[in-house]
Amino acid sequence: MKKTKAPASPDSAPKTSAGTGICWLVGAGPGDLGLVTLRAKECVEQADVVIYDYLCNPAMLAWARGDAELIYAGKKSGQHTLPQGGINELLVEKTRAGKKVARLKGGDPFVFGRGAEEAQALHAAGLAWEVVPGVSSAIAGPAYAGIPVTHRDHTVQLTVFTGHEDPTKGAGVADYAALAKTPGTRVMLMGVERLPAVTEQFLTHGADPATPVALVRWATTGRQQTLTGRLDDIARRAEEFGFEAPAVAVFGSVVNLREELNWFERRPLFGKRVVVTRTRAQAGGLSSRLAALGAEVLELPTIRIEPPADMRAFAELVMDAHSYDWLIFTSPNGVQVFFDTFFKLYPDARSLGGPRIAAVGPATAQKVNEYRFAADLTPREFVTEGLIKAFEEETSLDNLKLLVVRPEKTRDVLAAALDKRGAIVDQAIGYRTVPETLENDRTGALARFRDEGADVITFASSSAVENFLALKLPRPAGMKIASMGPVTSRTLRDAGLRVDIEAPEATLDAFAAAIAADLSGAK
């Protein structure tokens, strides 16, 4: 990727003597993780300190380095954690200390986010800073409710204002007399709680009482809610529905287009919360598939992959991989640690020599492909018998030299069964799965699960089940259980749990589709 850093222009802020400190004012988008920019992700990945907000999708925090300091500087309406002055000081202090600071702000930092004030504080302190614009809720919020803020047939004008201040106060207040007469779409950020006063101002100044209005709450996330009405009844409706912040309000005839264009709320898993319990590193694939179907995904990693107790022993077996007839991989993680270790030892792929490759399960085979090798044998079932059967159809096991790559502490029935059939089996213990701890709830997913529950929880492996149970979390009433395959299902049943959904085959696509079919049917 091309580096985007431009040379400093003559009037840019002077660098500090420390030189390395920089503060990025980063737009975190309106909520949907997919609407975060590539540059924002880079900043979070590189940051020493991440300072984030109430409106940022906390899943972004999972991109931060393990040793990054995470500071919540969020504000809920009326409930300030840190006053703005304190936030400015914090940014200056951390940047001056030579840190790379990612300051995440919901939407776009310069659209009613007080980002400009933070930039000024950094500039005044002579520190380096940059802004990373984001997708503003002013535009994305309506879009996700099926409301385009402009349309040739409706309007040639778009006005964005804030309803933050009490309209009767005078200073710092939007000009309602002008707004009432402004043609086109008007979008209001903040101030849903002031809706009665705001709509009153519009009406007093002569706006059409029949003007269509939509309120979009938690827009672009799985908990998005939309309420529509007219200028003269929306405040009452919001009150009746108990409609709360954060919400975007849209005034104008484009609101009517929602009837045709409401794409987001019509997706099969819209309004459903699904828990994904894979390791943080693996969760993304399933999460993005579920999110694409409209689900609100809570990533609750229960396990994490760590190096094995004896890395040296593993590396020695990897070094000798060329001397085996077959390499047998039982999981994508095994493939990954094997090849990562292999390419540290050998710069040339041909050093692998001639062993054939068996991969248990399609996801494992796919991982092998990612390293530009092909699996010669891929038993469909993720069970020992499946592999043995596949082998026996292919070749005699007698005297074959096999290297099985597997995690610590799993059942070694596979090696034992192969051994019984005359094969010479070595086992390369490539990794350990260790439980995630509750203290490590960086993204707040665990707390949300505990407080708000979920519609379905997914398990992709037996160890995920075991580790989830070890967390001893309460199970919300009515939450369904989805399993990636028969072995995982068996583990669930052995633990006395009912399996509601099982993937017809062990692929993420099939798993996500099975969940969507079940939940959208149950809607």
Q: Which residues bind ligand SAH (CB under 6 A)?
A: 30-31, 55, 105-108, 111-113, 136-138, 141, 189-190, 216-220, 245-248
Query: In the complex, what is the shortest distance from the CB of residue 113 to ligand SAH, in angstroms, rounded to a whole number?
Result: 3
End-to-end Cα spacing for the chain: 44
Q: What type of residue sits at position 495?
A: A
Query: In the complex, what is the shortest distance from the CB of residue 222 to ligand SAH, in angstroms, rounded to a whole number?
Result: 11
Query: In the complex, what is the shortest distance from the CB of residue 36 to ligand SAH, in angstroms, rounded to a whole number?
Result: 12
Name all contacts of 500-506 with Cβ < 8 Å and 24+ positions apart. Answer: 500/456, 501/456, 505/362, 505/380, 506/361, 506/362, 506/363, 506/382
Residues ≥6 apart with Cβ < 8 Å to 51: 71, 73, 87, 90, 91, 94, 101, 102, 103, 104
Shorter beta-carbon distance to ligand SAH: residue 211 or 220: 220
Q: Is-catalytic flag, 472?
A: no
The SS3 call for residue 251 is strand
Query: In the complex, what is the shortest distance from the CB of residue 79 to ligand SAH, in angstroms, rounded to a whole number?
Result: 13
Question: What is residue 444's DSSP assignment?
Answer: S
Closest among 33, 26, 24 to 53, alpha carbons compared:
26
Shorter beta-carbon distance to ligand SAH: residue 248 or 269: 248
Shorter beta-carbon distance to ligand SAH: residue 136 or 443: 136
Chain position whose Cβ is nearest to ligand SAH: 107
Q: Is-catalytic flag, 311?
A: no
Give the integer Cα–Cα distance in Å for 364 and 421: 24
Beta bridge partners of 217: 225, 247
Give the integer Cα–Cα distance in Å for 214 and 211: 10
Give the integer Cα–Cα distance in Å for 205 and 131: 38
* Phi, psi values for residue 389, rounded to 5°: -60, -45
DSSP codes of every residue in 365-424 = HHHHHHTT---SB--SSSSHHHHHHHHHHH---TT-EEEEEEETTS--HHHHHHHHTT-E
Query: In the complex, what is the shortest distance from the CB of residue 107 to ligand SAH, in angstroms, rounded to a whole number?
Result: 2
Distances, alpha carbon 134 to alpha carbons 22, 65, 200, 285, in Å: 19, 22, 32, 24
- The catalytic position among 15, 41, 75, 232 is 75
- The catalytic position among 105, 190, 367, 484 is 190
Gyration radius from the chain CA atoms: 28
Query: In the complex, what is the shortest distance from the CB of residue 41 to ligand SAH, in angstroms, rounded to a whole number?
Result: 18
- The catalytic position among 53, 60, 100, 105 is 53
Q: What type of residue sits at position 420?
A: K
Give the integer Cα–Cα distance in Å for 424 and 163: 74
Shorter beta-carbon distance to ligand SAH: residue 190 or 454: 190
Shorter beta-carbon distance to ligand SAH: residue 55 or 404: 55
Query: In the complex, what is the shortest distance from the CB of residue 348 to ligand SAH, in angstroms, rounded to a whole number?
Result: 50
| Residue labelled with tokens 């800073």 | 129
Q: Is-catalytic flag, 75?
A: yes
Shorter beta-carbon distance to ligand SAH: residue 23 or 111: 111
Catalytic residues: 53, 75, 190
